[in-house]
A and B are shown apart, each in its own frame.
Chain A
C-alpha cells in the first residue's frame, strides 16, 4: 500500500486558488468551512512564496492523539480520516493540528462547534465507499474510484503534488536538481518527521 502525502512546491504555486475552489466544489463544502487554503508568505516582498495547505495526513497524527472520543482512524493508504457520528465537536483537534486543518460549522450557543470537517484526501469516511451517506458527510471518494485528490490533480502549475510519499518526493527532488532551487517541502517536518533532502 502506498503512503499518501501532499507536497506543495511553493516555487511553482501562483496563488490561483484553484485547489481551494476545486475542493469546495468537489465536496460541496459549506460556507465558512475551508478544507484547503493558500497562504502567501512575505506577501508583496521579493521572494514571496505561496503554499497550498490542508490536512497533511500526519504520521502519528496529533489530532487522533488528543481526540477524547477516538473518532480518527488511519486507512491502509495512511490517510487520516474521522467519523462524524462519533465526533462531539470539542475542538481539541484544531488546537493539536500544526496546519489548522480541522474546521467546524458554528451551531448553537457560545459559538458551539458542530462536528469537525477536514480534508479527507478525497477518500470519504467510514461509510461504504461512494454512497450517498458518505457523500453527504464527507464529500466524494475519488480514491475509491482510483483517482487522486482533485486539488492536486487540477493544479495548473503542478505545484501541489498528491500521491505516494516516495514518488512525489522523487518528483520534487528532480525538479529542485533541474532548476537549481527549492523552498522546501512545506510542513513535512511537522507532519512526517522528515523532509525531502535534495
Chain B
C-alpha cells in the first residue's frame, strides 16, 4: 500500500462519517415536511373555478389561447348547442311549417275578394325590390347553410354520404361567411327604404283587433303602405337581422368576441335568433307567394292589382292616387265601387 492510497482510504472513511453525521438528521427532517403542502392540486384548482373560468398557467408557446389547461365550461357550451339551441331550432322550423299547413287547410289561398282588376299600380320601385331581393336571396342561402350546421349530420349525411355532405358543408361555410355581408347591405338598404312607413300608429291597433282580415273573407282593415302584420315582419327582420349581423361578425372575427366565453355566448344568440327569424321569414314567404293571390307581384314586377291594393292597403292607394296617380300601365281613373 502506498501512502496515497492509505490517505485516500482514510479520507473516504472520514467522508462517510461526516455524511452520516450530517445527512441522517436531514433525512429525518425532510420526512416531516410535506413537499406538496404548498403545491397546486388539480382538485383544489377545479373546485376554485367558477363560471367560465379555466385552470390557467404559462406556456412558452407565443399563443394566448394555449395558456388554459382545463376549461370545464366549454362542455357546457357543447351541451347548450346540442340541447336548447337544437330544440329551439327544431321547434321553430317544424312549428311554423305545421302552423302554415293548418292555416292553409282552414283558410286556403286568400283570394282578391273583388276579383282581379285590369289595372295595376306601382307598389315597390326597382330600388326597393333590389334591396328586398338582396336581403331575401342572401337570407335564404344563410338560413339553409345555417340549418345545415344543425340538421345536416342527421339528415343530409345519412342520405348522401360523407363525401357529398363534407363538400356541400365546406361550400356552405364559405357561402355563409361571405353572404353575411350581402345580407347586411340589404338590411341597411331595406331599413333606409321603409323605416318611415313602418312607424307604428293607431291604425295598427284596428288592424290587429280585426286579425288583419286574415281569418275571414271580406274583412279588410284599412292600412297605409304597410299594415301592422308587415310592420311586425319589418321590425323582426331589422332587429333580428341586426342581432345576427353583430353576432355574426363577432363569430367571423373571434379576436373581437372577447375570449372563448364571449364567442360562445354570441354563437348561442346567433343560433337562437336565426331559428326564430327563419320561422318568421318562412311565414312571410308563405303569405307573399302561395298564401295570397296577387301578393307576389309587389316584389315581382313591382306592380300590384288595383283591387288587391284597395283591399289590403286602402289608405295607401288613396294617397298615391291623390298625389298624381302613380298607377302604371294604361291606368285610368277608376269609378268608385
Contacts and interface: CB of A to CB of B under 8 A. Distances in A.
Interface of A: 10-11, 17, 34, 37-43, 46-51, 53, 62-63, 65-71, 83, 85-92, 95-100, 110-112, 180-190, 195
B39 A183 contact: yes
B16 interface: no
Given A41-B55, A62-B75, A68 B148 contact: yes
Interface of B: 34-43, 45-46, 55-61, 63, 65-75, 77-79, 81-82, 148-150, 152-153, 157, 162-163, 165-166, 169-170, 172-173, 177, 252-255, 260, 263-264, 267
A65 B78 contact: yes
Contacts of A39: 56-59, 66-69
Nearest to B46: A189
A95 B153 contact: no
Contacts of B254: 91, 111
A187 B36 contact: no
Given A85-B162, A86-B165, A184-B41, A37 B66 contact: yes
Contacts of A86: 162, 165-166
Contact of A186 (B56, B70, B166, B252): B70
Interchain residue pairs A-B with the least CB separation, the first 7: A184-B42, A47-B38, A181-B36, A47-B39, A62-B78, A96-B78, A86-B166
A1 B34 CA distance: 39
A23 B78 CA distance: 28
A86 to B, nearest CB: 4
A168 to B, nearest CB: 15
A69 B36 contact: no
B153 A69 contact: yes
Given A53-B69, A88-B169, A40 B58 contact: yes
B66 A181 contact: no
Contact of B58 (A43, A70, A91, A96): A43
A181 B117 CA distance: 91
A184 B67 CA distance: 19
A17 B60 contact: yes
26 contacts: A34-B61, A34-B63, A37-B59, A37-B66, A40-B57, A41-B56, A41-B69, A49-B40, A53-B69, A62-B79, A66-B78, A68-B152, A71-B166, A85-B166, A90-B149, A90-B173, A95-B260, A96-B74, A96-B78, A100-B68, A111-B254, A181-B35, A183-B39, A184-B41, A189-B42, A189-B46
A37 B61 contact: yes
Nearest to B73: A98
A17 B35 CA distance: 23
Contacts of B45: 41
Nearest to B65: A100
Contacts of B77: 66, 95-96
B74 A95 contact: yes
A112 B253 CA distance: 9
Contacts of B252: 110
Contacts of B166: 69, 71, 83, 85-88
Contact of B82 (A10, A65, A88): A65
B69 A66 contact: no
A183 B74 contact: no
Contacts of B253: 110-111
Contacts of A53: 69
Nearest to B37: A47
B149 A62 contact: no
B159 to A, nearest CB: 13
Contacts of B39: 11, 47-49, 181, 183
Contacts of B74: 62, 95-98
Contacts of A183: 36, 39-42
A25 to B, nearest CB: 16
Nearest to B39: A47
Given A42-B57, A180-B34, A190 B72 contact: yes
Contacts of A112: 177
Nearest to B261: A95
B198 to A, nearest CB: 33
Contact of A41 (B34, B40, B63): B40
A20 to B, nearest CB: 8
A43 B152 contact: no
A41 B149 contact: no
A190 B65 CA distance: 19
Nearest to A84: B166
A184 to B, nearest CB: 3
A112 B174 CA distance: 9
A110 B178 CA distance: 10
B28 to A, nearest CB: 15
B315 to A, nearest CB: 46
